[in-house]
């Protein structure tokens, strides 16, 4: 059975890296899954999240569907990408960063268990996989570890990472009612996936040094703001 994948890529000033990400996706050949499903990329939606460079132009030139979202925020970009899928619902939605730190070739490993009906949500774990030296900065690694431990303690989950590369069944995603517009997006999805009783798995994901400087862990202020929002998000849903 064929399963259609829509890929959402929020992008802020990523003109250098986007051609590499999109080139890897458009040139990808995906073998049948272990369960005999056929995977196909039906849409690649790049959400231009207020870029001041040529992000939108290079994305369009590479064949992606470009959606503009001038209000900045990682979660805002993801929400706008989801809204763009209305009217042409895929079977699976994949979220992928635009900086080429994630390895697009792992797409079948994430989407396959969902296509075969075994899982609803699959996360690419940088902790279970291999990260290039310097790819996960010390502050990012520490903040991720603290956040994951708190999430697991409060919700009884077994996550190892809050990584951005993830796949989820479209109808499951719609049931989660995602709302966060900034740094709490990934944590919100993982908390809500547990609370909704989704079948969750992690697969090892390699992680490369990103092209350019991170908008989050590349600065002290960004690290503090992101960490605070993630912890607040995890605690927020434990009280409802």
116, with CB counted inside 10 A (0-12, 13-18, 19+), is: middle
Q: Show pLDDT as tens, one digit a residue, over the chain (240 residues).
A: 899 999 999 999 999 999 999 999 998 989 999 999 999 999 999 999 999 999 999 999 999 999 999 999 999 999 999 999 998 999 999 999 999 999 999 999 999 999 999 999 999 999 999 888 776 777 778 889 999 999 999 999 999 999 999 999 999 999 999 999 999 999 999 999 999 999 999 999 988 887 755 555 455 566 778 889 999 999 998 876
**Rounded Cα–Cα distance for residues 240 and 233 (Å):** 12
**pLDDT value of position 142:** 84
Predicted pLDDT at 39: 97
* DSSP per position, 67-92: EE--S--HHHHHHHHHHHTTTS--SE
pLDDT value of residue 116: 98
Residue 225 has a pLDDT of 80
Q: Is-contact 11 18, C-beta < 8 A?
A: yes
Which pLDDT value is given to residue 212? 59
Task: Determine the structural domain holding residue 80 and report its residue range.
Answer: 2-238
Residue 176: CATH number of its domain: 3.90.550.10
What pairing do the DSSP bridges indicate for beta strands 38-48 and 92-95? unpaired
Q: Order of strands, edge to edge, in the sheet holding 92-95? A: 65-68, 38-48, 2-11, 92-95, 166-169, 121-125, 200-204
For residue 52, with 0-12 CB atoms within 10 Å meaning exposed, 13-18 middle and 19 or more buried, which class applies?
Answer: exposed
This prediction has a pTM of 0.94
Domain count within the chain: 1
Q: What is the pLDDT of residue 133?
A: 78
- Taking the C-alpha atoms of 206, 111, 202 and 141 in order, what is their torsion angle to the nearest 10 degrees? 40
Predicted pLDDT of residue 222 = 63
Question: Residue 109 carries which DSSP code?
Answer: H
């Amino acid at each position: 059975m064929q399963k259609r994948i829509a890929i959402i890529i929020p992008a802020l000033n990523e003109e250098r890296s986007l051609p590499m990400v999109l080139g890897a996706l458009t040139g990808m050949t995906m073998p049948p899954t272990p369960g005999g499903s056929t995977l196909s990329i039906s849409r690649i939606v790049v959400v231009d999240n207020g870029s001041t460079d040529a992000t939108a132009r290079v994305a369009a030139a590479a064949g992606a569907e470009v959606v503009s979202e001038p209000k900045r925020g990682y979660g805002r970009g993801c929400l706008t990408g989801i809204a763009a899928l209305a009217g042409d619902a895929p079977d699976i939605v994949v979220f992928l960063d635009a900086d080429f730190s994630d390895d697009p070739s792992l797409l079948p490993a994430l989407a396959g268990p969902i296509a075969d009906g075994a899982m609803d949500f699959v996360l690419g774990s940088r902790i279970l996989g291999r990260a290039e030296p310097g790819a996960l900065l010390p502050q990012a690694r520490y903040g991720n570890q603290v956040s994951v431990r708190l999430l697991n303690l409060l919700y009884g989950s077994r996550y190892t990472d809050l990584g951005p590369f993830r796949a989820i069944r479209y109808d499951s995603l719609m049931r989660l009612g995602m709302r966060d517009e900034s740094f709490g997006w990934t944590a919100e999805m993982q908390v809500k996936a547990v609370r909704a009783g989704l079948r969750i798995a992690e697969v090892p994901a390699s992680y490369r040094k990103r092209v350019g400087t991170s908008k989050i862990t590349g600065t002290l202020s960004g690290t503090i703001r992101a960490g605070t929002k993630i912890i607040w998000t995890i605690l927020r849903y434990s009280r409802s």
